[in-house]
């Protein structure tokens, strides 16, 4: 949440908040998440505590210290396996051959 424009949240279909309590730290911006949710956006919170923002999410994942990296590595594994290994995309194959 530290580099994107908050208004872009309204255009999102899936938002993940990782260990950030936006009700406290981004009070003027958090309404964009509420507005996006009314349009069907799914909102997931990754945080060890059930914070103010977690009570409004669709899914709360209570990660403990050190588990966040493992979760994102697993997510990347699923994305790469399902979209680039199981389904061969010529653009991706060309990119990998050229740059790795």
Residue 37 phi, psi (nearest 5): -65, -30
What are 45-76's pLDDT values in tens digits?
998 888 888 888 999 999 888 898 999 999 99
Domain that holds residue 75: 66-99
User: What pTM value is reported for the model?
Assistant: 0.72
Do 57 and 31 lie in one domain? The reply is yes
Checking phi first, is residue 77 left (phi over 0); if not, alpha (psi -120 to 50) or beta?
A: alpha
Identify the band that residue 78 occupies on the pLDDT scale cut at 50, 70 and 90. very high
Q: How many alpha carbons lie under 13 Å from residue 70 in its C-beta half-sphere?
A: 5
- pLDDT for res 74: 95
Q: What is the DSSP letter of 73?
A: H
Q: Are residues 54 and 79 in the same domain?
A: no
Q: Across the beta sheet with 14-18, what order do the strands follow?
A: 14-18, 42-46, 59-61
Number of domains into which the chain is organized: 2
Q: How confident is the model at residue 25 (pLDDT cuts 50, 70, 90)?
A: confident
Asked if residue 75 and residue 30 are part of one domain, the reply reads no
């Amino acid at each position: 949440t530290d580099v994107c424009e908050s208004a872009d949240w309204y255009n999102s279909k899936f938002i993940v908040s990782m260990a950030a309590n936006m009700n406290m730290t981004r009070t003027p911006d958090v309404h964009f998440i509420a507005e996006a949710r009314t349009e069907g956006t799914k909102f997931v919170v990754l945080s060890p505590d059930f914070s103010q923002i977690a009570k409004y999410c669709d899914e709360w994942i209570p990660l403990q210290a050190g588990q966040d990296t493992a979760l994102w590595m697993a997510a990347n594994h699923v994305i790469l396996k399902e979209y680039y290994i199981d389904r061969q995309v010529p653009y991706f194959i060309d990119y990998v051959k050229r740059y790795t």
